[in-house]
A = this chain, B = another copy of it.
């Protein structure tokens, strides 16, 4: 099993969720994060004091899924989250050793 972590622009969340649903992925966990990268924050002048906003609001989506579904999921994320502008985000894939569903104590792929 693999875990996909995708960092995306906040206003793309709905679209990404819909794209994943469409290919039958119905479980995910989402959190609000701040991103720091090539996309530079704006410079603000607030009442005369200048400062740089470094961290931009991003959304992190975590999806754990069977190995076979990874490719499809990545494709769905990329096509729905892309705007082509800097700051669109990244997708990270890593390995997961075990999954358990708390409610039923099922394990492995059955627990997804």
Contact = CB atoms under 8 A, between A and B. Distances in A.
Contacts of A91: 98-100, 102
Contacts of A99: 90-93
Contact of A34 (B31, B38, B97, B100): B31
One complex includes copies of this chain to the number of: 3
Contacts of A85: 103
Interface residues of A, number: 52
Nearest to A94: B96
Interface of A: 2-3, 6-8, 17, 26-38, 54-55, 58, 60, 64, 74, 77-78, 81-103, 105, 111
For the complex of A and B, the 10 pairs showing the least CB-CB separation, nearest first, are A88-B103, A93-B98, A88-B102, A31-B33, A91-B100, A27-B37, A30-B34, A28-B36, A93-B97, A94-B96
